[in-house]
Amino acid sequence: MFRIQHRTAGDVVQGALPNDRRPALETIDAQFLSRLELERKRLTSTPADLEAVAGQLGATLHSISLRARAGWSPDRLRAFAAAAVRQALMVLGDSAA
């Protein structure tokens, strides 16, 4: 049986997530970072902090899942994702953006 727990900001210990989701978030960011590091050679310049960009892409993935649950259409989700990828490419200095 699934039970919803209501929490307030005071219930959450600094640095902890309910059910300890940190490993999952860190894995997502690490996968994006790994891919960005592979692409580093192809990019025209990499003035950006790759860890920050990887975190932003991971946050975008989370945002897409929330928006899907909120009822956004697949086309709208794809457009949102494409815009986020274009933004990341611009930050990275890729001329393909």
3-class SS string, the chain: CCCCCCCCHHHCCCCCCCCCCHHHHHHHHHHHHHHHHHHCCCCCCCCCCHHHHHHHHHHHHHHHHHHHHCCCCHHHHHHHHHHHHHHHHHHHCCCCC
Q: What is the pLDDT at residue 4?
A: 42
Q: pLDDT for 38-91, tens place per residue?
A: 877 776 666 678 888 899 999 999 999 999 999 999 999 999 999 998 988 888
Q: What is the pLDDT of residues 32-49, one digit of tens each?
A: 888 888 877 776 666 678
